[in-house]
Protein backbone atom coordinates (compact mmCIF):
# COMPACT_ATOMS: atom_id res chain seq x y z
CA UNK A 1 0.00 0.00 0.00
CA UNK A 2 3.00 2.28 0.54
CA UNK A 3 3.94 1.91 -3.11
CA UNK A 4 0.40 2.66 -4.21
CA UNK A 5 0.36 5.76 -2.02
CA UNK A 6 3.59 7.09 -3.51
CA UNK A 7 2.40 6.42 -7.02
CA UNK A 8 -0.90 8.22 -6.66
CA UNK A 9 0.77 11.66 -6.81
CA UNK A 10 2.82 10.95 -9.92
CA UNK A 11 2.07 11.00 -13.61
CA UNK A 12 1.47 7.86 -15.65
CA UNK A 13 4.96 7.81 -17.24
CA UNK A 14 6.73 8.38 -13.91
CA UNK A 15 4.64 5.66 -12.31
CA UNK A 16 5.77 3.15 -14.91
CA UNK A 17 9.40 4.03 -14.20
CA UNK A 18 8.98 3.70 -10.43
CA UNK A 19 7.27 0.30 -10.73
CA UNK A 20 9.99 -0.98 -13.05
CA UNK A 21 12.62 -0.01 -10.48
CA UNK A 22 10.89 -1.34 -7.36
CA UNK A 23 9.12 -4.54 -8.50
CA UNK A 24 10.00 -7.83 -10.08
CA UNK A 25 7.90 -8.74 -13.14
CA UNK A 26 5.72 -11.08 -11.06
CA UNK A 27 5.22 -8.46 -8.35
CA UNK A 28 4.36 -5.94 -11.02
CA UNK A 29 1.69 -8.15 -12.51
CA UNK A 30 0.25 -8.94 -9.08
CA UNK A 31 0.27 -5.27 -8.15
CA UNK A 32 -1.44 -4.30 -11.39
CA UNK A 33 -4.47 -6.36 -10.42
CA UNK A 34 -5.11 -4.06 -7.46
CA UNK A 35 -4.00 -0.73 -8.87
CA UNK A 36 -6.11 1.57 -11.00
CA UNK A 37 -2.96 2.85 -12.75
CA UNK A 38 -2.68 -0.16 -15.01
CA UNK A 39 -6.16 -0.23 -16.36
CA UNK A 40 -6.63 -1.44 -19.88
CA UNK A 41 -7.46 2.00 -21.24
CA UNK A 42 -4.38 3.71 -19.77
CA UNK A 43 -2.02 0.93 -20.90
CA UNK A 44 -3.43 1.10 -24.44
CA UNK A 45 -3.13 4.87 -24.42
CA UNK A 46 0.51 4.70 -23.30
CA UNK A 47 1.39 2.11 -25.93
CA UNK A 48 -0.36 4.06 -28.62
CA UNK A 49 1.49 7.24 -27.73
CA UNK A 50 4.91 5.59 -27.54
CA UNK A 51 4.44 3.75 -30.81
CA UNK A 52 5.24 6.93 -32.76
CA UNK A 53 1.67 8.03 -33.12
CA UNK A 54 0.45 4.92 -34.83
CA UNK A 55 -3.31 4.53 -35.13
CA UNK A 56 -4.48 1.73 -32.76
CA UNK A 57 -7.32 0.84 -35.11
CA UNK A 58 -5.33 -1.45 -37.40
CA UNK A 59 -8.13 -3.22 -39.10
CA UNK A 60 -6.62 -2.61 -42.56
CA UNK A 61 -3.32 -4.36 -41.71
CA UNK A 62 -2.50 -7.98 -42.56
CA UNK A 63 -2.04 -10.71 -39.93
CA UNK A 64 1.76 -10.38 -40.13
CA UNK A 65 1.52 -6.59 -39.70
CA UNK A 66 -0.81 -7.04 -36.71
CA UNK A 67 1.62 -9.48 -35.12
CA UNK A 68 4.60 -7.11 -35.59
CA UNK A 69 2.50 -4.25 -34.23
CA UNK A 70 1.74 -6.27 -31.09
CA UNK A 71 5.43 -7.15 -30.66
CA UNK A 72 6.45 -3.48 -30.95
CA UNK A 73 3.82 -2.44 -28.40
CA UNK A 74 5.06 -5.08 -25.95
CA UNK A 75 8.64 -3.93 -26.43
CA UNK A 76 7.60 -0.34 -25.73
CA UNK A 77 5.83 -1.45 -22.55
CA UNK A 78 8.81 -3.52 -21.36
CA UNK A 79 11.22 -0.69 -22.14
CA UNK A 80 9.08 1.72 -20.16
CA UNK A 81 9.17 -0.65 -17.18
CA UNK A 82 12.90 -1.18 -17.43
CA UNK A 83 12.47 -4.90 -18.13
CA UNK A 84 13.78 -5.14 -21.68
CA UNK A 85 17.08 -6.82 -20.71
CA UNK A 86 15.25 -9.38 -18.53
CA UNK A 87 12.92 -10.27 -21.40
CA UNK A 88 15.90 -10.88 -23.71
CA UNK A 89 17.51 -13.23 -21.15
CA UNK A 90 14.30 -15.24 -20.72
CA UNK A 91 13.81 -15.52 -24.49
CA UNK A 92 17.39 -16.73 -24.99
CA UNK A 93 17.02 -19.39 -22.27
CA UNK A 94 13.77 -20.65 -23.79
CA UNK A 95 15.35 -20.96 -27.25
CA UNK A 96 18.29 -22.90 -25.82
CA UNK A 97 15.94 -25.37 -24.06
CA UNK A 98 13.97 -25.91 -27.31
CA UNK A 99 17.21 -26.85 -29.07
CA UNK A 100 18.04 -29.40 -26.37
CA UNK A 101 14.56 -30.96 -26.62
CA UNK A 102 14.83 -31.12 -30.39
CA UNK A 103 18.12 -33.04 -30.19
CA UNK A 104 16.77 -35.43 -27.57
CA UNK A 105 13.58 -36.14 -29.48
CA UNK A 106 15.50 -36.70 -32.68
CA UNK A 107 17.15 -39.81 -31.18
CA UNK A 108 13.78 -41.57 -30.59
CA UNK A 109 12.23 -43.37 -33.50
CA UNK A 110 8.47 -43.17 -33.64
CA UNK A 111 6.89 -46.26 -35.14
CA UNK A 112 3.81 -45.54 -37.18
CA UNK A 113 1.08 -47.94 -38.14
CA UNK A 114 2.35 -48.04 -41.74
CA UNK A 115 5.93 -49.04 -40.91
CA UNK A 116 7.05 -52.64 -41.18
CA UNK A 117 8.12 -53.79 -37.73
CA UNK A 118 9.78 -57.13 -37.12
CA UNK A 119 7.41 -59.08 -34.87
CA UNK A 120 8.70 -60.29 -31.50
CA UNK A 121 8.83 -64.02 -30.90
CA UNK A 122 5.93 -65.29 -28.82
CA UNK A 123 5.27 -68.35 -26.72
CA UNK A 124 2.92 -70.62 -28.60
CA UNK A 125 2.25 -73.03 -25.74
CA UNK A 126 -1.40 -74.12 -25.84
CA UNK A 127 -1.48 -74.12 -22.04
CA UNK A 128 -0.50 -70.46 -21.80
CA UNK A 129 -2.47 -69.41 -24.87
CA UNK A 130 -5.71 -70.88 -23.50
CA UNK A 131 -5.98 -73.34 -26.41
CA UNK A 132 -6.58 -77.06 -26.49
CA UNK A 133 -3.38 -78.90 -27.53
CA UNK A 134 -3.64 -80.44 -30.95
CA UNK A 135 -2.23 -83.80 -30.00
CA UNK A 136 -1.87 -85.84 -26.83
CA UNK A 137 0.97 -88.30 -26.54
CA UNK A 138 -0.53 -91.12 -24.55
CA UNK A 139 1.93 -93.90 -25.29
CA UNK A 140 0.32 -97.02 -26.73
CA UNK A 141 -3.15 -95.69 -25.91
CA UNK A 142 -2.86 -92.39 -27.76
CA UNK A 143 -6.10 -90.48 -28.14
CA UNK A 144 -6.50 -87.81 -30.81
CA UNK A 145 -8.44 -84.70 -29.89
CA UNK A 146 -10.44 -82.37 -32.10
CA UNK A 147 -8.34 -80.04 -34.21
CA UNK A 148 -5.51 -80.15 -36.70
CA UNK A 149 -3.11 -82.91 -35.63
CA UNK A 150 -0.37 -81.63 -37.94
CA UNK A 151 -0.20 -78.24 -36.30
CA UNK A 152 3.24 -77.72 -34.77
CA UNK A 153 3.84 -76.34 -31.31
CA UNK A 154 6.14 -73.37 -31.83
CA UNK A 155 6.82 -72.88 -28.15
CA UNK A 156 9.87 -70.74 -27.54
CA UNK A 157 12.77 -72.63 -25.98
CA UNK A 158 13.78 -70.90 -22.76
CA UNK A 159 17.22 -71.31 -21.21
CA UNK A 160 16.44 -73.14 -17.97
CA UNK A 161 18.81 -72.93 -15.02
CA UNK A 162 19.14 -75.01 -11.88
CA UNK A 163 16.04 -74.09 -9.89
CA UNK A 164 15.82 -72.74 -6.35
CA UNK A 165 14.13 -76.01 -5.46
CA UNK A 166 17.19 -78.00 -6.58
CA UNK A 167 19.61 -75.62 -4.89
CA UNK A 168 17.59 -75.67 -1.69
CA UNK A 169 17.25 -79.45 -1.49
CA UNK A 170 20.80 -80.37 -2.54
CA UNK A 171 23.05 -78.76 0.07
CA UNK A 172 26.21 -80.82 0.47
CA UNK A 173 27.59 -79.09 3.54
CA UNK A 174 26.10 -80.46 6.77
CA UNK A 175 24.13 -78.06 8.90
CA UNK A 176 23.19 -75.68 6.08
CA UNK A 177 19.64 -76.92 5.85
CA UNK A 178 17.69 -76.46 9.09
CA UNK A 179 17.12 -79.67 10.99
CA UNK A 180 13.62 -80.90 11.75
CA UNK A 181 12.49 -81.73 15.25
CA UNK A 182 11.49 -85.21 16.35
CA UNK A 183 7.94 -86.50 16.52
CA UNK A 184 5.95 -86.19 19.71
CA UNK A 185 3.76 -89.24 20.09
CA UNK A 186 1.62 -87.77 22.87
CA UNK A 187 -0.55 -85.46 20.83
CA UNK A 188 -3.47 -83.58 22.38
CA UNK A 189 -3.54 -80.20 20.59
CA UNK A 190 -1.90 -78.00 17.94
CA UNK A 191 0.52 -75.11 18.34
CA UNK A 192 1.72 -72.55 15.76
CA UNK A 193 5.05 -73.28 14.13
CA UNK A 194 7.45 -70.95 12.36
CA UNK A 195 6.22 -68.15 10.11
CA UNK A 196 3.57 -67.85 7.42
CA UNK A 197 4.52 -68.12 3.75
CA UNK A 198 2.84 -66.16 0.95
CA UNK A 199 2.90 -65.83 -2.81
CA UNK A 200 1.26 -62.52 -3.74
CA UNK A 201 0.31 -63.97 -7.15
CA UNK A 202 -1.64 -66.87 -5.61
CA UNK A 203 -4.77 -65.26 -4.17
CA UNK A 204 -6.42 -68.42 -2.81
CA UNK A 205 -5.08 -71.94 -2.23
CA UNK A 206 -7.23 -74.97 -3.17
CA UNK A 207 -4.67 -77.79 -3.01
CA UNK A 208 -1.35 -78.46 -1.26
CA UNK A 209 1.18 -81.29 -1.18
CA UNK A 210 4.42 -81.88 0.71
CA UNK A 211 7.23 -83.72 -1.03
CA UNK A 212 7.72 -87.22 0.40
CA UNK A 213 11.45 -86.81 1.07
CA UNK A 214 12.33 -83.12 0.60
CA UNK A 215 11.32 -80.14 2.74
CA UNK A 216 9.24 -78.40 0.07
CA UNK A 217 5.52 -77.63 -0.22
CA UNK A 218 3.58 -77.17 -3.48
CA UNK A 219 0.40 -75.08 -3.53
CA UNK A 220 -2.10 -74.44 -6.32
CA UNK A 221 -5.34 -72.55 -6.61
CA UNK A 222 -6.99 -69.45 -7.96
CA UNK A 223 -6.11 -68.16 -11.42
CA UNK A 224 -4.21 -71.27 -12.46
CA UNK A 225 -1.28 -70.27 -10.22
CA UNK A 226 1.15 -72.69 -8.56
CA UNK A 227 3.80 -71.89 -5.93
CA UNK A 228 6.51 -74.00 -4.31
CA UNK A 229 7.80 -73.03 -0.86
CA UNK A 230 10.54 -74.23 1.43
CA UNK A 231 9.02 -75.95 4.45
CA UNK A 232 11.71 -75.89 7.11
CA UNK A 233 9.16 -74.46 9.58
CA UNK A 234 11.84 -72.03 10.73
CA UNK A 235 11.40 -68.38 11.62
CA UNK A 236 13.66 -67.26 8.77
CA UNK A 237 11.89 -65.79 5.75
CA UNK A 238 14.92 -66.04 3.44
CA UNK A 239 14.19 -67.69 0.11
CA UNK A 240 10.90 -69.22 1.26
CA UNK A 241 9.23 -68.81 -2.18
CA UNK A 242 11.11 -71.11 -4.55
CA UNK A 243 8.84 -71.20 -7.63
CA UNK A 244 5.80 -69.22 -8.75
CA UNK A 245 4.14 -69.70 -12.13
CA UNK A 246 0.88 -69.95 -14.06
CA UNK A 247 0.30 -73.60 -14.87
CA UNK A 248 -3.17 -73.42 -16.42
CA UNK A 249 -5.91 -71.09 -17.59
CA UNK A 250 -8.36 -72.66 -15.08
CA UNK A 251 -8.19 -72.85 -11.29
CA UNK A 252 -5.89 -75.54 -9.93
CA UNK A 253 -7.72 -78.53 -8.43
CA UNK A 254 -4.70 -80.64 -7.46
CA UNK A 255 -0.94 -80.55 -7.03
CA UNK A 256 1.04 -83.75 -6.34
CA UNK A 257 4.74 -84.54 -6.34
CA UNK A 258 5.67 -87.65 -8.32
CA UNK A 259 7.67 -90.37 -6.56
CA UNK A 260 9.21 -91.51 -9.85
CA UNK A 261 10.91 -88.13 -10.44
CA UNK A 262 13.33 -86.15 -8.30
CA UNK A 263 11.09 -83.09 -8.16
CA UNK A 264 8.37 -83.80 -10.69
CA UNK A 265 5.10 -82.01 -9.99
CA UNK A 266 1.72 -83.00 -11.44
CA UNK A 267 -0.91 -80.26 -11.71
CA UNK A 268 -4.60 -80.81 -12.47
CA UNK A 269 -6.93 -78.02 -13.46
CA UNK A 270 -10.52 -77.03 -13.95
CA UNK A 271 -9.72 -76.64 -17.66
CA UNK A 272 -9.67 -80.46 -17.86
CA UNK A 273 -5.92 -81.03 -18.16
CA UNK A 274 -3.11 -82.63 -16.18
CA UNK A 275 0.40 -81.25 -16.72
CA UNK A 276 3.84 -82.39 -15.55
CA UNK A 277 6.56 -79.96 -14.45
CA UNK A 278 10.24 -80.53 -13.71
CA UNK A 279 10.98 -78.40 -10.64
CA UNK A 280 14.74 -78.99 -10.73
CA UNK A 281 15.18 -76.38 -13.47
CA UNK A 282 13.57 -73.01 -13.94
CA UNK A 283 13.29 -69.94 -16.13
CA UNK A 284 12.69 -66.96 -13.85
CA UNK A 285 10.38 -68.66 -11.29
CA UNK A 286 8.77 -71.05 -13.79
CA UNK A 287 9.84 -74.72 -13.95
CA UNK A 288 10.15 -76.65 -17.18
CA UNK A 289 7.04 -78.29 -18.65
CA UNK A 290 7.51 -81.96 -19.51
CA UNK A 291 5.50 -83.46 -22.37
CA UNK A 292 2.05 -82.39 -23.49
CA UNK A 293 -0.98 -81.64 -21.35
CA UNK A 294 -3.18 -84.67 -20.79
CA UNK A 295 -6.99 -84.47 -20.96
CA UNK A 296 -8.26 -87.66 -19.24
CA UNK A 297 -11.92 -86.60 -19.28
CA UNK A 298 -12.16 -85.30 -22.85
CA UNK A 299 -12.04 -81.68 -21.75
CA UNK A 300 -14.39 -81.86 -18.77
CA UNK A 301 -13.04 -80.01 -15.73
CA UNK A 302 -11.02 -81.94 -13.15
CA UNK A 303 -12.18 -81.48 -9.55
CA UNK A 304 -9.61 -83.62 -7.72
CA UNK A 305 -6.47 -85.68 -8.31
CA UNK A 306 -4.35 -88.19 -6.39
CA UNK A 307 -1.09 -89.99 -7.18
CA UNK A 308 0.29 -93.37 -6.11
CA UNK A 309 3.81 -93.90 -7.47
CA UNK A 310 3.23 -93.56 -11.24
CA UNK A 311 -0.55 -94.08 -11.10
CA UNK A 312 -2.74 -90.99 -11.39
CA UNK A 313 -6.47 -90.86 -10.61
CA UNK A 314 -8.69 -87.88 -11.43
CA UNK A 315 -12.34 -87.04 -10.76
CA UNK A 316 -14.33 -84.87 -13.12
CA UNK A 317 -17.29 -82.55 -13.36
CA UNK A 318 -18.97 -85.03 -15.71
CA UNK A 319 -19.11 -87.62 -12.89
CA UNK A 320 -16.33 -89.82 -14.27
CA UNK A 321 -13.10 -91.18 -12.80
CA UNK A 322 -9.95 -91.93 -14.79
CA UNK A 323 -6.88 -93.91 -13.70
CA UNK A 324 -3.78 -93.38 -15.85
CA UNK A 325 -0.15 -94.44 -15.79
CA UNK A 326 2.46 -91.70 -16.04
CA UNK A 327 5.62 -92.20 -18.06
CA UNK A 328 7.69 -89.58 -16.30
CA UNK A 329 10.62 -89.72 -18.73
CA UNK A 330 8.47 -88.47 -21.61
CA UNK A 331 5.65 -86.83 -19.69
CA UNK A 332 3.07 -89.01 -21.46
CA UNK A 333 0.09 -90.84 -19.98
CA UNK A 334 -1.57 -94.17 -20.74
CA UNK A 335 -5.18 -94.65 -19.66
CA UNK A 336 -5.54 -97.69 -17.41
CA UNK A 337 -9.22 -97.50 -16.44
CA UNK A 338 -12.04 -95.09 -17.09
CA UNK A 339 -15.24 -95.15 -15.00
CA UNK A 340 -17.73 -93.01 -16.89
CA UNK A 341 -20.66 -93.03 -14.48
CA UNK A 342 -18.95 -93.14 -11.11
CA UNK A 343 -21.34 -90.46 -9.76
CA UNK A 344 -24.52 -88.73 -10.82
CA UNK A 345 -23.31 -85.18 -11.19
CA UNK A 346 -19.85 -83.95 -10.23
CA UNK A 347 -17.31 -86.40 -8.85
CA UNK A 348 -15.92 -84.05 -6.20
CA UNK A 349 -13.13 -86.05 -4.52
CA UNK A 350 -10.99 -89.13 -5.13
CA UNK A 351 -8.08 -90.87 -3.34
CA UNK A 352 -5.96 -94.01 -3.56
CA UNK A 353 -5.93 -96.37 -0.59
CA UNK A 354 -2.31 -95.92 0.62
CA UNK A 355 -1.74 -99.61 1.38
CA UNK A 356 -3.46 -101.14 -1.66
CA UNK A 357 -0.62 -100.66 -4.15
CA UNK A 358 -2.85 -98.45 -6.27
CA UNK A 359 -5.68 -100.98 -6.58
CA UNK A 360 -8.35 -99.38 -4.37
CA UNK A 361 -9.75 -95.88 -4.70
CA UNK A 362 -12.54 -94.04 -2.90
CA UNK A 363 -14.67 -91.29 -4.42
CA UNK A 364 -17.39 -88.89 -3.32
CA UNK A 365 -19.76 -86.72 -5.32
CA UNK A 366 -22.82 -84.55 -5.71
CA UNK A 367 -25.09 -87.58 -5.39
CA UNK A 368 -24.06 -87.85 -1.67
CA UNK A 369 -22.47 -91.25 -2.43
CA UNK A 370 -19.17 -92.54 -1.01
CA UNK A 371 -17.91 -95.37 -3.23
CA UNK A 372 -14.93 -97.72 -3.20
CA UNK A 373 -13.62 -99.07 -6.50
CA UNK A 374 -11.40 -102.15 -6.87
CA UNK A 375 -9.32 -101.70 -10.01
CA UNK A 376 -8.44 -105.41 -10.08
CA UNK A 377 -12.01 -106.24 -11.07
CA UNK A 378 -12.60 -106.85 -14.76
CA UNK A 379 -15.56 -104.47 -14.86
CA UNK A 380 -16.04 -101.16 -13.10
CA UNK A 381 -19.73 -100.78 -13.81
CA UNK A 382 -20.48 -101.24 -10.11
CA UNK A 383 -18.41 -100.11 -7.12
CA UNK A 384 -16.92 -102.69 -4.79
CA UNK A 385 -18.47 -100.85 -1.83
CA UNK A 386 -21.36 -98.39 -2.08
CA UNK A 387 -21.97 -96.09 0.88
CA UNK A 388 -23.61 -92.71 1.30
CA UNK A 389 -23.76 -89.70 3.57
CA UNK A 390 -26.56 -89.94 6.11
CA UNK A 391 -27.31 -86.26 5.51
CA UNK A 392 -28.13 -86.69 1.83
CA UNK A 393 -25.91 -83.73 0.90
CA UNK A 394 -23.05 -83.27 -1.55
CA UNK A 395 -19.92 -85.14 -0.44
CA UNK A 396 -17.04 -82.71 -1.00
CA UNK A 397 -14.10 -84.61 0.52
CA UNK A 398 -13.19 -88.27 1.07
CA UNK A 399 -10.01 -89.42 2.83
CA UNK A 400 -8.61 -92.86 3.60
CA UNK A 401 -7.16 -93.43 7.06
CA UNK A 402 -3.42 -93.88 6.31
CA UNK A 403 -3.12 -96.81 8.75
CA UNK A 404 -6.62 -98.25 9.15
CA UNK A 405 -7.40 -99.75 5.76
CA UNK A 406 -11.16 -100.06 6.23
CA UNK A 407 -11.83 -96.49 7.48
CA UNK A 408 -12.93 -93.61 5.23
CA UNK A 409 -13.58 -90.02 6.34
CA UNK A 410 -16.13 -87.90 4.46
CA UNK A 411 -17.05 -84.21 4.74
CA UNK A 412 -20.08 -82.60 3.14
CA UNK A 413 -22.09 -79.41 3.60
CA UNK A 414 -23.54 -80.95 6.78
CA UNK A 415 -22.40 -79.63 10.20
CA UNK A 416 -20.85 -83.04 11.00
CA UNK A 417 -18.21 -85.22 9.36
CA UNK A 418 -18.65 -88.99 9.08
CA UNK A 419 -16.37 -92.00 9.49
CA UNK A 420 -17.31 -94.98 7.29
CA UNK A 421 -16.31 -98.60 7.79
CA UNK A 422 -16.22 -100.28 4.39
CA UNK A 423 -16.81 -103.63 6.09
CA UNK A 424 -20.21 -102.35 7.23
CA UNK A 425 -21.35 -99.90 4.53
CA UNK A 426 -25.00 -99.62 5.56
CA UNK A 427 -24.47 -96.53 7.74
CA UNK A 428 -21.60 -94.33 8.97
CA UNK A 429 -19.84 -95.70 12.03
CA UNK A 430 -19.09 -92.37 13.76
CA UNK A 431 -20.15 -88.73 13.41
CA UNK A 432 -17.69 -85.99 14.25
CA UNK A 433 -19.27 -82.77 15.52
CA UNK A 434 -18.04 -79.58 17.16
CA UNK A 435 -15.85 -78.03 14.46
CA UNK A 436 -18.47 -75.59 13.12
CA UNK A 437 -20.19 -72.73 14.99
CA UNK A 438 -23.00 -73.77 17.31
CA UNK A 439 -26.40 -73.69 15.60
CA UNK A 440 -25.03 -74.23 12.07
CA UNK A 441 -27.41 -76.42 10.06
CA UNK A 442 -25.58 -76.26 6.73
CA UNK A 443 -21.97 -75.36 5.95
CA UNK A 444 -21.62 -72.84 3.14
CA UNK A 445 -18.18 -73.75 1.81
CA UNK A 446 -15.81 -76.67 1.25
CA UNK A 447 -13.28 -77.56 3.95
CA UNK A 448 -10.65 -80.30 3.95
CA UNK A 449 -10.09 -82.41 7.10
CA UNK A 450 -6.87 -84.42 7.35
CA UNK A 451 -5.50 -87.35 9.33
CA UNK A 452 -2.51 -86.84 11.63
CA UNK A 453 -0.42 -88.99 13.95
CA UNK A 454 -0.61 -92.35 12.19
CA UNK A 455 -4.32 -91.96 11.54
CA UNK A 456 -5.26 -91.59 15.22
CA UNK A 457 -6.16 -87.90 14.98
CA UNK A 458 -8.29 -85.83 12.61
CA UNK A 459 -7.90 -82.06 12.24
CA UNK A 460 -10.62 -79.94 10.61
CA UNK A 461 -11.44 -76.28 10.23
CA UNK A 462 -15.13 -76.26 9.34
CA UNK A 463 -17.01 -73.78 7.19
CA UNK A 464 -17.64 -70.51 8.98
CA UNK A 465 -15.37 -71.46 11.88
CA UNK A 466 -12.23 -69.59 12.92
CA UNK A 467 -11.02 -72.59 14.94
CA UNK A 468 -8.90 -75.64 14.27
CA UNK A 469 -10.43 -78.69 15.94
CA UNK A 470 -8.75 -82.02 16.67
CA UNK A 471 -10.73 -85.27 16.97
CA UNK A 472 -9.98 -88.78 18.10
CA UNK A 473 -10.22 -90.84 14.90
CA UNK A 474 -11.74 -93.83 16.68
CA UNK A 475 -14.35 -92.35 18.99
CA UNK A 476 -14.97 -89.00 17.29
CA UNK A 477 -14.34 -87.19 20.59
CA UNK A 478 -13.14 -83.58 20.42
CA UNK A 479 -9.63 -83.45 21.88
CA UNK A 480 -8.98 -79.73 21.42
CA UNK A 481 -10.32 -76.69 19.62
CA UNK A 482 -8.45 -73.43 19.38
CA UNK A 483 -9.09 -70.10 17.71
CA UNK A 484 -6.67 -69.11 14.93
CA UNK A 485 -8.35 -65.83 14.00
CA UNK A 486 -9.27 -66.68 10.40
CA UNK A 487 -11.36 -69.16 8.43
CA UNK A 488 -9.16 -71.93 7.06
CA UNK A 489 -9.19 -73.35 3.54
CA UNK A 490 -7.01 -76.29 2.54
CA UNK A 491 -5.16 -78.48 5.05
CA UNK A 492 -2.21 -80.75 4.25
CA UNK A 493 -0.38 -83.08 6.67
CA UNK A 494 3.40 -83.43 6.90
CA UNK A 495 5.73 -85.60 8.98
CA UNK A 496 8.22 -83.99 11.35
CA UNK A 497 11.07 -85.04 9.08
CA UNK A 498 10.28 -85.34 5.34
CA UNK A 499 13.32 -87.57 4.85
CA UNK A 500 11.88 -90.24 7.17
CA UNK A 501 8.74 -92.36 7.07
CA UNK A 502 7.47 -91.15 10.44
CA UNK A 503 3.81 -90.32 10.85
CA UNK A 504 2.42 -86.86 10.09
CA UNK A 505 2.70 -84.55 13.07
CA UNK A 506 2.54 -81.23 11.28
CA UNK A 507 -0.07 -79.57 9.11
CA UNK A 508 -0.10 -76.67 6.66
CA UNK A 509 -3.24 -74.53 6.75
CA UNK A 510 -4.17 -72.06 4.02
CA UNK A 511 -6.21 -68.92 4.64
CA UNK A 512 -6.57 -66.60 1.70
CA UNK A 513 -3.12 -66.21 0.14
CA UNK A 514 -1.30 -67.05 3.38
CA UNK A 515 -0.20 -70.49 4.60
CA UNK A 516 0.42 -71.17 8.28
CA UNK A 517 2.03 -74.19 9.92
CA UNK A 518 1.07 -76.07 13.08
CA UNK A 519 2.41 -79.10 14.86
CA UNK A 520 0.99 -81.58 17.30
CA UNK A 521 2.07 -80.81 20.85
For the chain, give every domain's residue range. Answer: 2-56+65-84, 126-520
pLDDT mean across residues, the chain: 76
Least confident stretch, 32-36, 96-100, 288-292, 434-438: 32-36
Least confident stretch, 189-193, 201-205, 253-257: 189-193
User: Which is more confident, 47 or 483?
Assistant: 483
3-state secondary structure of 169: helix
Render pLDDT for 56-75 as a digit per residue (tens, 0 to 9): 444 456 777 888 888 888 87
CB 306 within 8 A of CB 350: yes
State residue 171's pLDDT score: 44
CATH 2.130.10.10, domain 126-520, yes or no: yes
> Is residue 252 pLDDT above 50, yes or no?
yes
> What mean pLDDT is predicted for residues 204-230?
95
> What mean pLDDT is predicted for residues 238-262?
90
> Is residue 481 pLDDT above 80, yes or no?
yes
Residue 305, exposed/middle/buried by CB under 10 A (0-12, 13-18, 19+)? buried
State residue 75's pLDDT score: 77
The confidence band for 497, taking pLDDT boundaries of 50, 70 and 90, is: low
> What mean pLDDT is predicted for residues 75-81?
73
Distances in Å between the alpha carbon of 408 and those of 65, 177, 363, 419, 482?
A: 99, 37, 10, 6, 25
> Is residue 459 pLDDT above 60, yes or no?
yes
What is the share, in percent, of the chain residues with pLDDT greater than 70? 65
Give the range with max mean pLDDT: 127-136, 150-159, 264-273, 435-444. 264-273
268-272 long-range Cβ contacts below 8 angstroms, 24+ apart: 268/302, 268/304, 268/305, 268/314, 269/224, 269/301, 269/302, 270/301, 270/302, 270/303, 271/224, 271/301, 272/297, 272/298, 272/299, 272/300, 272/301, 272/302, 272/316
Count CB-CB contacts under 10 A for residue 203: 12
Least confident stretch, 101-105, 184-188, 328-332: 184-188
Distances in Å between the alpha carbon of 36 and those of 11, 12, 21, 39, 309?
A: 13, 11, 19, 6, 96
State residue 73's pLDDT score: 82
The confidence band for 25, taking pLDDT boundaries of 50, 70 and 90, is: very low
What is the share, in percent, of the chain residues with pLDDT greater than 90? 47
State residue 322's pLDDT score: 97
Render pLDDT for 140-174 as a digit per residue (tens, 0 to 9): 333 333 333 333 344 455 666 667 676 655 544 33
The confidence band for 258, taking pLDDT boundaries of 50, 70 and 90, is: very high
> Is residue 83 pLDDT above 60, yes or no?
yes
> What mean pLDDT is predicted for residues 127-132?
47
The confidence band for 89, taking pLDDT boundaries of 50, 70 and 90, is: low
Amino acid sequence: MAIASSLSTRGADDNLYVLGALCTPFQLIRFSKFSKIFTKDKMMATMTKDAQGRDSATGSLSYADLRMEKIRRNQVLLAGLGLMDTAREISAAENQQKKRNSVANGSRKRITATEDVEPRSRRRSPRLQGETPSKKQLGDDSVAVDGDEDEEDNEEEYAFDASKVLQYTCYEEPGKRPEHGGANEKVTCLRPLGTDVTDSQLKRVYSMNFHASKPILACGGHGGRVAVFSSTFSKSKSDELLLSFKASKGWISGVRFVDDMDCGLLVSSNDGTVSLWDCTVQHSLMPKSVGDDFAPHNGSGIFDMDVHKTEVVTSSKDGSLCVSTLRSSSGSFAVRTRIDDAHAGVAKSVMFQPKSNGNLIVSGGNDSAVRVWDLRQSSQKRPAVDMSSSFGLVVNIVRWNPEVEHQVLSASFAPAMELHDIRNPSSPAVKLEGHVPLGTTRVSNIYQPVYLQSGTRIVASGGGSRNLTMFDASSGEVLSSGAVGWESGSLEPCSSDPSSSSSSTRVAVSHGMDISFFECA
